[in-house]
Amino acid sequence: MGDKGTFWLPESASTVSGDVDSLFYLVTWISVVIFVLVVAAMVYFMMRYRRHHAGQVGAPAHESKWFEMSTVVVSTILVLIVFTWGFRVYLKLNIAPPGAYEIQVTASQWKWDYTYPDGTVYAGDLHVPADKPVRLVMNSIDVLHSFFVPQFRVKQDVLPNRYSSVWFEATRADTFDVYCTEYCGNQHSGMLGQVIAHPQEEFEEWLASAGGGGLSPEEYGERLFGQNNCNTCHSIDGTRLVGPTMQGLFGSQRQLVSGESVEADENYLLSSIVAPAAQVVEGYPPAMPPSYGSLPQDQLDALVAYIKSVQ
């Protein structure tokens, strides 16, 4: 069906999307043809056999065995074609080619984390090599989520306490959208991301620097602050969002709902990130997700360093 998007489907960019699209168009066109035939026959019969005066009684209908048999046979054949074709595409969609590059996906309210084979944990966007099969092994640490990349035609639920998987091969180096398509709480619609497919070499370079290599702790922390969506709830310029601003936080005195007053030192910042419910700031809801407790220590250190630098 080509690479360009249509009225029905976004442009296709994976090795399976062509098959999915052909199947979709087959079913759509069969439905359109049958719909037109049925409606046309209905309109014709309405005109042709209309009642002309009150009290008119229609002639008894005679069944046509030949016609009835043919509708049964034709629709059975159509259903079998759609089934066999659909089953083949289903197998292709579900069985990853052996040797696919594996990335661990962790969904949480409301972000995606990706763990690479070398241990790098990267939040927000999924970087992959283009023209290479990639298999995602997915898990959620809280509620149901669903991983969907429309341009690849792949979608899979992500569940707590259980792995699900999905695979794709991007047919070109480009950027594609990721959506969470299972309602997962009030920031669900913000649980967006991108798949960034790189040429193989560029991908390797990216992976080498993804762990924050070459960045100062503050710079790495700033990047993580965006990737982990901290900035949807915390401003750095004094604006009040869902949570308090990070501006001037370090070293200030915090009033907690427990009545205590504590100084925002490094330990306070760290515990606010990993166990937000333990010390809730007065005047704010305990709305910070607890999922950041699973961030690797070097990323927590970088976040603390960054928050300290926001003055």
Binding site for ligand HEC (CB under 6 A): 187, 228-230, 232-234, 242-244, 249, 254, 264, 269, 272-273, 276, 280-281, 284-289, 292, 303, 307
Q: Is 184 in the site for Cu ion (CB under 5 A)?
A: yes
H or E element that contains 133: none
* 158 near Cu ion (CB under 5 A): no
Query: Based on CB atoms, which residue is closest to ligand HEC, 79 or 287?
Result: 287
13 touches Cu ion (CB under 5 A): no
Q: Choose from ligand HEC, Cu ion, none: what does 249 bind? Cβ within 5-8 Å by kind.
A: ligand HEC
Q: Nearest distance from residue 245's CB to ligand HEC, in Å?
A: 8
Q: Are strands 126-129 and 192-198 parallel, antiparallel or unpaired?
A: parallel
Q: Which does 233 bind (CB under 5 to 8 A by kind): Cu ion, ligand HEC, none?
A: ligand HEC
Give the relative orientation of helices 217-227 and 297-309 as an angle to the nearest 10 degrees: 100
Stretch that binds Cu ion, among 13-21, 176-184, 192-200, 295-303 (CB under 5 A): 176-184
- Residue holding tokens 């069985």? 95
Q: Which is nearer to ligand HEC, 212 or 289 (CB)?
A: 289
The yes or no reply on residue 145 touching Cu ion (CB under 5 A) is yes
What is the nearest approach in angstroms of ligand HEC to the Cβ of residue 306?
8
For 21, 49, 224, 248, the CA distances from 37, given in Å and listed in that order, are 24, 18, 57, 70
Between residues 25 and 284, which has the closer beta carbon with respect to ligand HEC?
284
Place of tokens 């309109």: 43
- Pick between residue 135 and residue 145 the one whose CB is nearest to Cu ion: 145
Nearest CA to 225 among 126, 108, 124?
A: 124
Closest by CA to 204, choosing from 131, 116, 129, is 129
Select from Cu ion, ligand HEC, none the partner in contact with residue 180, using the beta carbon and a kind-dependent cut-off of 5 to 8 Å: Cu ion
Q: Is position 180 an interface residue for Cu ion (rule: CB under 5 A)?
A: yes
CB of 196 to ligand HEC, least distance (A): 21
| CA distances to 11, 26, 28, 52, 53 from 2, in Å | 8, 15, 18, 53, 57
C-alpha span between 227 and 107 (Å, rounded): 13
Give the nearest distance from C-beta 107 to ligand HEC in angstroms: 14
184 binds, among ligand HEC, Cu ion, none (CB under 5 to 8 A by kind): Cu ion
Cβ atoms < 10 Å from Cβ of 34: 13
The C-alpha atoms of residue 22 and residue 7 are separated, in whole angstroms, by 15
Residue 141 binds which entry of Cu ion, ligand HEC, none, with Cβ cut-offs from 5 to 8 Å by kind? none
Cβ neighbours around 174 below 10 Å, total: 15
Strands (E), the chain: 101-108, 111-115, 121-123, 126-129, 134-140, 145-149, 154-158, 164-168, 175-180, 192-198, 253-255, 261-263
**Nearer to ligand HEC (CB atom), residue 5 or residue 286:** 286
With CB cut-offs between 5 and 8 Å by kind, which of Cu ion, ligand HEC, none does residue 132 bind?
none
- Closest distance between ligand HEC and the C-beta of residue 241, in Å? 8
- 255 conformational bin, left if phi > 0, alpha if psi -120 to 50, beta if neither: beta
| Residues in the chain, total | 311
Query: In degrees rounded to 5, what are phi and psi of residue 83?
Result: -65, -50
191 binds, options ligand HEC, Cu ion, none, Cβ within 5 to 8 A by partner type:
Cu ion
Question: 191, 195, 273, 304: which one contacts Cu ion (CB under 5 A)?
Answer: 191
Footprint of Cu ion on this chain (CB under 5 A)? Answer: 145, 180, 184, 191
